[in-house]
């Protein structure tokens, strides 16, 4: 499922780089970088519940649009709890945040869509120097991991179920 090729046009452009947890690139895989950064405890708990931690620690490469704990807090508690208890739906939601390949911010801004590991496309919109993935704002970019790259978003994005 992660072996799909992902090609894009290369170009540089400005993308917002405000970081809710002052995220820095770390030496480690995507999971280790998210753990070290802090602010992604709900995402990591969801990845554990969905049995996706080992996948996100594998060779990759992956691009992860990572929602912060504050992004998960925007989901009503009952809805979030139901999602965490439905492994199949949770996997689909989490894989919707993953794009196979290493896609830097300078590449993301040249895309209109990107195919996710869930098999559905996210919509990408660049407007007034800001980038949106579906309805989420990208708030930090290009956080490097040994097996991919993380872009921080301010909302959980949801695929069609």
Q: Which pLDDT score is estimated for 22? A: 43
Give pLDDT tens digits along the chain (161 positions): 322 222 222 222 223 333 334 444 457 999 999 999 999 999 999 999 999 999 999 999 999 999 999 999 999 999 988 998 999 999 999 999 999 999 999 999 899 999 999 999 999 999 888 999 999 999 999 999 999 999 999 999 999 87
Sign, CA torsion 38/42/43/49: positive
Q: Which pLDDT score is estimated for 25? A: 44
Report the distance separating Cα 145 and Cα 59, nearest Å.
11
Alpha helices in 1-144 (DSSP H): 30-37, 41-49, 53-57, 69-73, 77-85, 87-95, 105-108
Q: Which pLDDT score is estimated for 141? A: 94
Q: Which pLDDT score is estimated for 26? A: 54
- The answer to whether the CB of 33 falls within 8 A of the CB of 7 is no
> Domains in the chain, please, with CATH?
30-153 (2.30.180.10)
Q: Residue 67: beta bridge partners?
A: 153
């Amino acid at each position: 499922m992660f072996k799909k090729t992902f090609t894009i046009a290369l170009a540089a452009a400005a993308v917002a780089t405000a970081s809710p947890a002052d995220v820095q690139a770390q030496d480690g895989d995507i999971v280790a970088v998210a753990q070290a950064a802090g602010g992604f405890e709900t995402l990591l708990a969801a990845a554990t519940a969905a049995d996706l931690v080992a996948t996100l620690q594998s060779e990759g490469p992956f691009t992860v649009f990572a929602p912060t704990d504050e992004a998960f807090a925007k989901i009503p508690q009952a809805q979030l709890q139901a999602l965490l208890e439905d492994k199949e739906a949770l996997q689909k939601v989490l894989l919707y945040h993953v794009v196979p390949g290493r896609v830097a911010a300078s590449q993301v801004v040249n895309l209109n869509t990107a195919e996710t590991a869930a098999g559905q496309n996210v919509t990408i919109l660049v407007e007034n120097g800001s980038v949106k993935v579906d309805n989420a704002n990208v708030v930090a970019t290009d956080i490097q991991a040994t097996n991919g790259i993380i872009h921080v978003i301010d909302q959980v994005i949801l695929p069609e179920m």
